[in-house]
Structure 1
Amino acid sequence: MKLWRLTRAPFLALDGSGPVKHGARWVSPGRPVVNFASEPGLAVLVVLRYLPRDLSGIDDDYLLGWTEIDAVPERLPFVSDRADKRRIGDDWLASGRSLLAAVRSAVLPEADVVMMNPAHPDAAHVPPLVTRPFEFRATLSLPPDP
């Protein structure tokens, strides 16, 4: 399965260290998890959602990347309550029963957020991301008139 991630260069590692400090939508602080998107467009939309509307001062070291993982994600139920989301995600991580878990995206319901448990034994076999630079300003600006 091909999975996508848009991240800044310093956070390219698939170790789940980002959510440890602050948590993530589906896990509580202190729990490592790596979030992927099932589609490249969803990876972009998720990050864009948290950026300021004025893109002039944002970081310019974003990378769009993908990796291939030979696993079928476990399906988690979509819930809208933040505490319920974290309870479901925390339970999944603690169980260690699967490398991947997928849940419908709130941003783009036709796609999935796919979480990876970096503590799962199979995580050691996940290839690093293949990346290319990604620039929000270039992507979101209109082309010049002909």
Structure 2
Amino acid sequence: MRIRDRRAEDVPEINLVPLIDVILVLIIFFVITTTFDARSVLKIELPRAGGEAHAASDPLSLLINADGRYFVDDREALRTDVESLKRTIVEVAGDDRDRTVLLRADARTPWQAVVTAYEALGQLGFTRVANATAPEAPAASPQ
């Protein structure tokens, strides 16, 4: 009778399931802990104006990009109509109607988008609205 050694027939294998689980947990961890800054993604060109800068404490930021899309603080309005914009403003601002609204519209924004923003703010009862502008470019002096 011949006794065989079964250890020689065992083929070592690498189980990938625990490795995949660990990688998925790491991916989820990094996605959740990453901070997203919507303002760094949006490129707008503010209209130019002279005058002094006036800063308000903790203003509600309403940004309109060149395509006419609205962003209230870091939340985007789903559509470009007045009702959708009003819902987004109420979700972000709550019942605080005395808060200053800082309206930042791209210089290439269609005027209708700005008028829609003013209409939504007026219907909600916001009375303090400030327009953000970029400082005028210095004039070249003749030499």
Which TM-score band applies after superposition, normalised by the shorter structure?
Answer: under 0.3
**RCO (CA 8 Å, sep 6+): is it higher in 1 or 2?**
1
TM-score by length of 1: 0.23
Larger radius of gyration: 2
Larger strand percent: 1
TM-score by length of 2: 0.23
